[in-house]
């Protein structure tokens, strides 16, 4: 019942807050009274093309028509039981009766992670949760465990991106983890990354399948004085739009941008239309800064 009430409330808020500047119509028939609105996307397909909320339709703005929109949306994503609030804005213009251009961006986005252990980003060395145990590709390229997945116990030293050369920790070996992983005395070190099929390999940091993201460990226990994983995954777990997310609360503005076209292939006067939407999505953040990486 509570879920139904929440869903009703969210729908009501969307209906109240989503608005559009009416399309400007020049030289059109007075019999055509349609009020075309844009989609706002969040939680569904990319926003921007005309349609309804998150669903495109086959109609396009006609030559000279344009629309501005602003919306408020709240939705959830797994893994991580992640709650996302977004305020997207978009602009659309009809170049002719069958060709529509659109652009959309997020004026503000807030992301709250309720289950951080379910996301690989929280196991990275630059996360405040970096001391969590994880399943990683063994440090180094030689030694008994080279190329295999190993359990990195909790308590790993923190390190800044790009991690290479930082200490990998002692792996519960009192004399140091170096000799076990093909290094000299002391502890093994992280990286450097190397080519590995579809994704680069990051020894001591990322998954055995490739990528900089490690496998997650949901439960662990101590057996004979050593920490061991209980419930875990050797593959990374992440949100596609925010793969490195490692904060329980984070905000951004004007980070995600989409530019695209909507094309109607048949006569706009036909009752049933068909066409396609194509777009390019990019982000302002990159991994070269601490804020951009996270």
SS (HEC) of 214-228? CEEECCEEEECCEEE
Q: What is the Cα Rg of the chain in Å? A: 25
The residue assigned the tokens 């009020």 is 35
Q: pTM of the entire structure?
A: 0.80
DSSP code, position 24: P
Query: pLDDT per position in the chain (294 positions), as tens?
Result: 444 445 445 444 444 444 444 444 444 444 555 567 888 877 778 888 888 888 888 889 989 999 998 999 999 999 999 999 999 999 999 999 999 999 999 999 999 999 999 999 999 998 887 678 999 999 998 888 989 999 999 988 898 888 999 999 999 998 999 999 999 999 999 989 988 778 899 999 999 999 999 999 999 999 988 999 999 999 999 998 888 898 899 899 998 999 999 999 999 888 899 999 999 999 888 777 766 776
Residues 121 and 236: their CA atoms lie apart, in Å, by 9
Residues 207 and 200: their CA atoms lie apart, in Å, by 10
The CA-based angle 282-283-284, given to 5 degrees, is 130
Q: Using omega within 30 degrees of 0 as the cis cutoff, is the peptide bond preceding 79 cis?
A: yes
Kindly tell me the number of DSSP H helices and DSSP E strands found in the chain. Answer: 2, 16
Q: Which of 240, 220, 216, 210 is nearest to 118 (CA)?
A: 216
């Amino acid at each position: 019942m509570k879920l139904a009430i929440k869903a009703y409330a969210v729908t009501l808020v969307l209906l109240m807050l989503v608005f559009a500047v009416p399309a400007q119509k020049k030289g059109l028939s007075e019999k055509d009274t349609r009020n075309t609105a844009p989609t706002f996307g969040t939680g569904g397909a990319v926003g921007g093309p005309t349609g309804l909320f998150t669903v495109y339709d086959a109609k396009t703005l006609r030559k000279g028509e344009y629309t501005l929109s602003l919306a408020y949306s709240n939705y959830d994503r797994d893994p991580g039981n992640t709650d996302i609030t977004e305020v997207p804005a978009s602009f659309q213009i009809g170049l002719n009766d069958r060709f529509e251009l659109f652009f959309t961006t997020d004026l503000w986005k807030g992301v709250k992670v309720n289950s951080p252990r379910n996301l690989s980003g929280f196991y990275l060395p630059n996360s405040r949760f970096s001391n969590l145990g994880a399943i990683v590709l063994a440090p180094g390229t030689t030694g008994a465990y080279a190329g295999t997945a190993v359990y990195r116990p909790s308590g790993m030293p923190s390190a800044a991106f790009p991690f290479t050369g930082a200490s990998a920790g002692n792996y519960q070996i009192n004399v140091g983890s170096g000799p076990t992983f093909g290094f000299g005395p002391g502890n093994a070190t992280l990286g450097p990354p190397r080519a590995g099929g579809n994704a680069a390999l990051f020894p001591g940091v990322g998954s055995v399948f490739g990528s900089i993201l490690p496998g997650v460990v949901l439960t662990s226990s101590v057996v004979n004085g050593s920490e061991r994983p209980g419930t875990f995954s050797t593959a990374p777990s992440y949100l596609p739009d925010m793969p490195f997310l490692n904060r329980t609360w984070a905000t951004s503005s004007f980070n995600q941008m989409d530019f695209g076209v909507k094309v109607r292939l048949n006569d706009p006067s036909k009752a049933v239309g068909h066409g396609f939407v194509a777009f390019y999505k990019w982000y302002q953040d990159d991994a070269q800064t601490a804020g951009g990486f996270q």
